[in-house]
Amino acid sequence: MHRQGTAMLSNLLRRFFGDRRGNVAIIFALSLVPIILLTGLALDFTAATQKRAELDAAADAAALAAVTPEMMNQTVAAATTAAANIFNAQASGISGLTYNPPVVNVTASGLTRTVTVSYTANSANWVPSVLGQQNWAISGTATATATVAPNINFYLLLDNSPSMNIAATTAGINTMVANTSAQGGCAFACHESHPSADNLGNPNGVDNYTLAAQLGVVTRIQNMATATQALMSTAQAMETSNNAQYQMAIYTFNVSGLSTIQLLTSNLANAQAAAANINVLEVYSNNWLTKDNNNNDTDTDFEAAMSQINSIMPNPGTGTAGSTSQEVLFIVTDGVDDEVSSTCSQQLDGSRCQQPFDTTWCTTVKNRGIYIAVLYTVYLPLPTNAWYNNWIAPFQSEISPNLESCASPGLFFSVTTDGDITAAMQTLFQEAIATARLSQ
């Protein structure tokens, strides 16, 4: 524009000196001043517009800098400083400009952060007499919004009672039944330290746990251990892609309450190694938990485990910078209690109780703002087994809905015999992350 104005003026001057008519000189003299003023105005306006575009770009960059994945894990104060620094660095390089420090407003609502950067500045005028002022005032505003993936602590509560150590596939069940005829055909790989007390009829007097290993039969507990190890790899990959931190704690539960496999840790490689230690509860023999404790095979106490895990888990935060992590309780179980109870509707042999889990503790945990994800490893119907027909079959249809009521909305999944526990656990894990993110 500056070159165009100069060319226009030069052309007029040539025409003026080349024309000898008096009226042309008069007209030119009268028009020269406004032409020069208009040219100057155009130049100043163009310069101011260009500087505003540059400042708009600086404000955009500043707002975006405060909502990068890395910055979303920083405090509001840190984000405010970062935005101001970016704006100042770019604005200071614009010549012919004076500007005030930007006004940066950062607000956070749950997992969402909104950043507004406003500026005011003055562009120095080339022809200050045009408007009677030295500068052309300019201003602008930029806004950016982003949602962060929350930091989450996962507490895995894994049922390792004897009923969970059934053969994992139909073929495995058939193999176990065919090789335990002396027991009437048993699909469970029960782990006993003193199997000779039960006259199981297995080769060399081994328990069904050892027999399953000898036959190459993979059990549900083994698959659960493998799936838990695989979950740690998935968690590592997802925390990197989400720029979040996922910590893991691993516990098993049975009649004795909780057993610690891994305390809460951010080292997921260590948690993965620890998960190899997940195994079924070892009892002394049928009906005996230990040599001196005849507990009548009451080997699953869900309520005790829930009470203990509830005392371990802290109150959750939003999972954002400056707040504590969100909390997810991740339960894997076949959903059947087997404990001593005087109030059980399914009482066996005096005080023994088999029934669906009491979900009262689930409500207590959820009321604290902790999510519960439940993977139901479907309790296998055994219609040829008298015990199953008498005591489990009457409430078999209640187990799944009962566990679903324990879970937070959308965080219930089931896997049947021959199903892929690894895939099921990873699907549920991803759903838990999505639920935690969207609910804030």
Second CATH level (architecture) for the domain 152-166+219-438: 3-Layer(aba) Sandwich (3.40)
pLDDT band at 5 (very low <50, low <70, confident <90, very high): very low
Average pLDDT over residues 329-336: 95
> Would you place residue 1 in the very low, low, confident or very high pLDDT band (cuts 50, 70, 90)?
very low
Mean pLDDT computed over every residue of the chain: 86
Segment 374-412, tens digit of pLDDT: 999 999 887 777 878 888 888 999 999 999 999 999 999
Least Cα distance to 66 among 97, 102, 100 occurs for 102
Residue 118 has pLDDT above 60, yes or no: yes
- pTM of this structure: 0.76
pLDDT beyond 60 at 19: no
Q: How far apart are CA 432 and CA 329, in angstroms?
A: 10
Q: Is 81 within 8 Å of 171 (Cβ atoms)? A: no
Q: What per-residue string of b and e applies to 137-172 under the rule 16 or more CB within 10 Å gives b? A: ebebebebebebbbbbbbbbbbbbbbbbbbbbbeeb
In the chain, domain spans: 2-147, 152-166+219-438
Query: For residue 2, what pLDDT is reported?
Result: 46
pLDDT tens, 49-78?
888 999 999 999 999 999 887 888 788 899
Would you say residue 128 has pLDDT above 80?
no
- pLDDT confidence of 14, banded at 50, 70, 90? low
User: Of 123-127, 293-297, 336-340, 404-408, where does the model show the most confidence?
Assistant: 404-408
Q: 344-384 pLDDT, tens per residue? A: 666 556 678 888 999 999 999 999 999 999 999 999 887 77
Best mean pLDDT range from 12-21, 33-42, 281-290? 281-290
Q: How far apart are CA 106 and CA 86, in angstroms?
A: 15
Q: Is 99 helix (H, G, I), strand (E, B) or coil?
A: strand
Question: From its phi and psi, is residue 199 left (phi > 0), alpha (psi between -120 and 50) or beta?
Answer: left
pLDDT at res. 129: 52
Phi-psi domain of 41 (left: phi exceeds 0; alpha: psi -120 through 50; beta: other) = alpha
> Is the predicted pLDDT of residue 9 greater than 50, yes or no?
no
User: Closest Cα to residue 284, out of 360, 214, 195, 212?
Assistant: 195
Res. 47 pLDDT band, cuts 50 70 90? confident
